[in-house]
Amino acid sequence: MGLAASQARWISLAARKTNVEYEGQQINQARTALSNQSSELWNRLYQMKVPIPPSTSDFTKTKYTFDVGDSTKTIVNIQSASHYDEEDGITYNAYVTYTADVVQYKGIRVTNSNPQVQYVGNPPDGKLPYYMVGTKELTCLSYIPKDSDEFAIYTAALDQIAEDWPDSRVGKEWAKVKASQDEEADPPVEPDYSNIWFWNDKENEINFVTKGDPAQADTLEYSIAYPSEALHSYYSQNQFVKEELSKYAVVDYDATGRAKSIQLEKSSAVYPLEASTQTDDDAYADAMNQYNYYKQVYEHRVQEINARTEQIQTEDRTLELRLKQLDTEQNALQTEMDAVHKVISKNIEGTFKTFES
């Protein structure tokens, strides 16, 4: 190989080696970028909050009850007293909210889905006309003596029905009757009770209904015209209802911090407290559902990060393999360049020796 050819070959090899080195640098930069991406993914993974399942103890609280005669009170909340009331010589340390069963007179609504109403206009034996609801014979309120105890009971029941069910047909009719009464007139105006009818049901409750135009729903005439339509009746009854009361109290605690007795304000009676644990199952179920949702979201994000990390690792292995190939190629080029360099050196040496004397 001549000197010129050797030099051309060496230049070609040097150019290829430079390209290989440049490509290697590009690969190293790409691997560095992949490494940064992988590090970012792992940082995201470490910063993610792992969902923790709820504990039943977080939804379990101590419930206190105390008995007052034949009534049981349930304490809803005990707060430290914001101030002390010492008017009766007692220092109160708590403000207690508790529920109690209170008797209230309430109007009750009954749905008669198949009333089977009929009107008997000419009853035998000189009886006054009446309606029937099924097998029950109805009585008009106007048939009852106004000065009787029975009439007073009926009007008290109607007062309560009108208060609790003001938009009902019975409630509106009774309000109309009350508005028409004028005891100061001369002579006093007597209300018209003829539209209000009643019967005693199987529980001996006095059920009230009204008569009216057949076009007026929820009346006796409407039920006759439309037998498949329900008829609502109403009665009044004493009922126990839950009522929340709040009072200052003296609450005594044992060594474990559990309340053991209570004395309510304006009372000298001290009641022992019965403690029991109570779990809010609905709240626990809601918390567990929320945990399962967060767990699914967390697992989905972990899978996304793992999938992206695996993709980065695959790309990095491909680049690493290519880098090894370039390293092998560079070594081969270097070996060949060394060989060409030796040839060039011999050619130069031979050329200069030709001109030596």
> What is the band of 72 on the pLDDT scale with cuts at 50, 70, 90?
confident
- What integer pLDDT is reported at residue 114 of this predicted model? 87
Of 337, 48, 83, 102, give the one whose Cα is nearest residue 238: 102
The mean predicted confidence, pLDDT, of the chain is 86
Annotated domain spans of the chain? 3-53+285-354, 114-229
- Cβ-in-10-Å burial (0-12, 13-18, 19+) of 20 comes to buried
pLDDT digits (tens, 9 = 90+) for 75-121: 888 888 766 656 666 788 899 998 877 788 999 999 999 899 999 98
- What integer pLDDT is reported at residue 343 of this predicted model? 75
Residues 187, 193 contacting (CB under 8 angstroms): no
> What is the band of 258 on the pLDDT scale with cuts at 50, 70, 90?
confident
pLDDT digits (tens, 9 = 90+) for 174-226: 999 988 876 665 566 678 999 999 999 888 899 999 998 888 899 999 999 99
Mean pLDDT on 222-242? 91
- What integer pLDDT is reported at residue 129 of this predicted model? 92
The helix/strand/coil state of 167 is: coil
- What integer pLDDT is reported at residue 88 of this predicted model? 63
Beta strands in the chain (DSSP E): 60-68, 71-80, 94-112, 117-120, 130-133, 136-137, 139-140, 196-200, 206-210, 231-253, 259-264, 271-272, 274-279
- What integer pLDDT is reported at residue 152 of this predicted model? 94
For the cut 70, the answer to whether the pLDDT of residue 141 exceeds it is: yes
Task: Take residue 270 and report the two structure tokens written for it.
Answer: 């001290």
User: What sign does the CA torsion over 307, 312, 316, 319 have?
Assistant: positive
More confident residue, 1 or 48: 48
The C-alpha angle 294, 300, 305, rounded to 5 degrees, equals 125
- What integer pLDDT is reported at residue 169 of this predicted model? 94
As a whole number of angstroms, the distance between CA 255 and CA 124 comes to 80
